[in-house]
Amino acid sequence: MQIQINKKVAVITGASSGIGKAIAIELAKNGVKVVLGARRIDRLKSVVEEIRNRGGEAVCQITDVSIKADLVGLVAMAVETYGQLDVMVNNAGVSQLSKIEELDIEGWDEMIDINLKGVLYGMAAAVSVFKENKSGYIINIISTAGIRISPTMGVYAGTKNAVRTITEAFRQECDGSIRITGISPGFVDTDFAETIKNNQMRTAILEKRDQIAISPQAIADAVIYAISQPKNIEVGDIVIRPAIQN
């Protein structure tokens, strides 16, 4: 039996497009007040406007998850605006694909800063509030790239598997008052791959996306499912991918 999630407050990173945008819109449709963060403020404002036009409640703030103070500020905005924080969705992520021997150290640093440290900073900002309230829910968006390792995805998959490990460790360490779920999407119909610098890799990933990708709505539905469970139930790993994805 699921519980009502209306009147909850959720912070979502990487909310200006793709999976983050879909999660924000779906949560707002279900009565959740959403606080959105991303680096592209123009797109963020557009998402907020779309939510408000549909009768939902949303605010936003430019956020670079590689900067700890930005996550602290985003969580503070939720508490200051709506008086509480119930859900933290760590969704922001980047991918730079290349063989490790090509030594794209700049790309490594970017993925570590955003995919790994950004999640840790988001968790830290939220847990500070959750511990005081003795309740809260963390959703970490991971990736199937960490489940099936492929050439050129080594460092990207490494950052995602680090988040997978951290998510499970937190679950075991916590007394159950703060719950946590890791969601691993496969190919999803977003513009995520368009930031890949390697032209060959970007083209290959985009072609595969166009052939088999599923809607980001599927990931948003998984978030709804997880946070709608009664307080004595915690949903662990969720893997969502196209049925034909290897």
Active site residue ranges: 156
C-alpha to C-alpha distances, 23 to 155, 172, 244, nearest whole angstrom: 26, 26, 24
- The 10 Å Cβ neighbour count of residue 154 is 15
Tokens representing 36? 């959105």
Cβ-based neighbours of 30, under 8 Å, separated by 6 or more: 5, 6, 224
| 111, 115, 119, 121 alpha-carbon torsion, rounded to 10° | 10
Nearest Cα neighbor of 78 from 20, 126, 121 is 126
CA pair distance 122, 91, nearest whole angstrom:
10
- 62 alpha-carbon distance from chain centroid: 16
